[in-house]
Amino acid sequence: MRKRILYTVLDWGLGHATRSIPVIRAWLASGCEVVIASDSMALEFLKSEFPHLPAYKLSSYNVQYTSDRLWINVARNWRKVFSAIRKEHEDIENLILKERITAIVSDNRYG
């Protein structure tokens, strides 16, 4: 049975998505099936790089950086992030069943 990997990517810019390209290519070359999931620019970028792969939109964390101090940004955004993580858990559970996922790899998606 071929591995079916759900690969999720954080969308806080395109760094996580761009570094995913060689990883996804290596899995495909080794015979794995890959399903991608993210949101916003990262999802659109990966869909453009891998238009043949199933792709799903996950809830956005909607983090906003309003200060140069990390702890202030964390304090202002923690409720949004935890709410998105709870929703993401539900979405992932549904994707596991729908897509027959055998492994999950996350590039900094907390859910």
Q: Phi/psi at 49 (nearest 5 deg)?
A: -75, -30
Q: How confident is the model at residue 77, as a pLDDT?
A: 75
Predicted model pTM: 0.84
Question: How is residue 4 written in tokens?
Answer: 């079916």
Q: How confident is the model at residue 94, as a pLDDT?
A: 95
Residues 6+ apart with CB under 8 A from 36: 6, 7, 8, 9, 24, 43, 46, 47, 50, 53, 54, 55, 56
pLDDT in tens, 34-58: 999 999 899 999 999 999 999 999 9
